[in-house]
Amino acid sequence: MTPMSDLAEALLARAVASFEAGAPALDAIAKDFQAQIGQGLAGEGGSLKMLRTFTRQPTGRERGRVVVVDWGGTKARAGLVELAGGGSVRIVVEEALTFPEAMKRGAPEPVFDLIAGAVGRVTRARGVDAAPLAFVYSYPARLERIDRAVALVSTKGWRLQGLVGRDVAAMLTAGLGRAGLARITLAAVANDTVAALILQSYQARGRDPETRPTDIGLILGTGTNLAADLGPAGIRNLESGNFDGVGGVETPYDVALDRELDEPPPGAQRFEKMVSGHYLGEILRRALVDLGARTGWFHWSSSSVIAAPFALDSAYLSRIADDRTAALDDVDALLRSLGVESTRHERHGLRALGAAIARRAARLVAAVLFGTLRFVDPRLDDRRTIAVDGSLWGGYPGFEGLVRAALVELLGRERADRVETAFVKDSTSAGAAVIAAVAAAQRSEGCSSA
Ligand code: BGC
């Protein structure tokens, strides 16, 4: 080893260690999160929005055919879903849409027109002329009814002009009107976390009506958030990505990322900026640039993936973590495809950094789950179910294991074993359909009791 690489080793080890989030720090985060749930519910401010959802737990017997729109990232989907009761759900047809980058900062109407166009194609292809529609809008929105959602400041890099304060359900309805689809009528708006929670309840209770409903719906993908059934307060969308109690485990990379980004603005979505797929690759990129400037390693700025903000996709973290070969051959192939020549030491350093960033994300997730569970059930006596969806949970090797290990540290083995994490892959459209069916039942109960 040369003195130069000794220095690199030492600085790398320090950077890796800076992402450590020990049990005491996690415990403090969980306590803060729990307290902020109470604060938000009481209308006393705090960083958790605790938004109402106007839905309730399904029975598992819901039926019907529902058009669904799922808009929550760079992609959106329009589809047709059939519920046959007994927890059964079938995606009949689905079309994915990609939004051009420029659209994210333009006027909202073109976005809704693009979505309405896809709704037109999927419904016409199946000869559906009239049907209820469920709209999953996976950005912060204040629901005033099940079919009215006032947009708050968006996340995940979106900033449509003049969107804040407008009802996104009405905007989609207008888009459907412009597309000649006035008989496709918006029945419900929901967040993706709520769709995951409701779908897991529907499937579990459809199989066994005695099953306790799901407690938490968690999304870990491009963004992160959770919804929870808080008993008398109903099912709430916490918008936990905005949780701000993370100062104790921030690194200089996180601080700089938060400060330098204009969307979401500094101070907003601080938890999400340390946890979700949209940001993990960027944290890694920043660490590599920093170590590249201070050591003889990682002089990779010839690659645009290292040079350009947000170019290092979080999916690379998963691929890097997956390489178990001694010389990290697949990491080597990946880096070459990105125009980077690397040494074996550098590849191991890269892998260690990526793993530390993902591990911290998983541990932070465990902390907020612990905080939520304790709010619901202070002694954690009962069995609890968390429905989880998203590319990070599904795609990063061993992510679930990391979360569970941290839960064991925080709750102890016995209580952690009472907490089930259920992966509900591709839950959004299916869950939305259940929410629309629940809304239909609520409406008919409302009519009959009126
Ligand atoms: C949004 C949430 C959403 C989450 C997961 C966040 O950026 O604010 O509404 O649930 O991403 O998609």
User: Is the minimum distance from the CB of 389 to ligand 1 under 6 angstroms?
Assistant: no
What pLDDT band is residue 450 in, cutting at 50, 70 and 90? very low
Name the residue of 139, 154, 236 whose CB sits within 8 Å of the most ligand 1 atoms, as the mutation to test its pocket: 139
Kindly report the number of other CB atoms within 10 A of residue 440's CB atom. Answer: 17
Position 1 pLDDT exceeds 70: no
Mean pLDDT of 84-98: 95
State the DSSP code for 12: H
User: Is the minimum distance from the CB of 200 to ligand 1 under 6 angstroms?
Assistant: no
Mean pLDDT of 160-169: 97
**C-alpha of residue 250 to centroid of ligand 1, in Å:** 21
Among 10-19, 135-144, 308-317, which stretch is predicted with the lowest mean pLDDT?
308-317
Token pair of 129 as six digits: 């002329």
Question: What average pLDDT does the chain have?
Answer: 95
What pLDDT band is residue 3 in, cutting at 50, 70 and 90? low
Nearest Cα residue to 200 out of 180, 225, 179, 218:
218
User: Is the minimum distance from the CB of 72 to ligand 1 under 6 angstroms?
Assistant: yes
Residue 262 class from Cβ within 10 Å (0-12 exposed, 13-18 middle, 19+ buried)?
Answer: exposed
In the prediction, which pLDDT does 344 show?
96
**C-alpha of residue 211 to centroid of ligand 1, in Å:** 28
Position 81 pLDDT exceeds 80: yes
d(CA 391, CA 273): 16
**C-alpha of residue 278 to centroid of ligand 1, in Å:** 11
In the prediction, which pLDDT does 172 show?
98
pLDDT, tens digit, 9 for 90 and up, residues 415-424:
999 999 999 9
CB 167 within 8 A of CB 175: no
What pLDDT band is residue 407 in, cutting at 50, 70 and 90? very high
d(CA 154, CA 346): 37
What pLDDT band is residue 370 in, cutting at 50, 70 and 90? very high
pLDDT, tens digit, 9 for 90 and up, residues 168-224:
999 999 999 999 999 999 999 999 999 999 999 999 999 999 999 999 999 999 999
In the prediction, which pLDDT does 45 show?
95
In the prediction, which pLDDT does 448 show?
56
Atom of ligand 1 nearest to the CA of 72: 12
In the prediction, which pLDDT does 37 show?
98
What pLDDT band is residue 2 in, cutting at 50, 70 and 90? low
What pLDDT band is residue 13 in, cutting at 50, 70 and 90? very high
**C-alpha of residue 154 to centroid of ligand 1, in Å:** 9
Nearest Cα residue to 440 out of 52, 59, 64, 57:
64
Percentage of the chain modeled with pLDDT above 90: 93
Atom of ligand 1 nearest to the CA of 193: 10
User: Is the minimum distance from the CB of 272 to ligand 1 under 6 angstroms?
Assistant: yes
Strands 184-190 and 131-137: parallel
**C-alpha of residue 218 to centroid of ligand 1, in Å:** 10
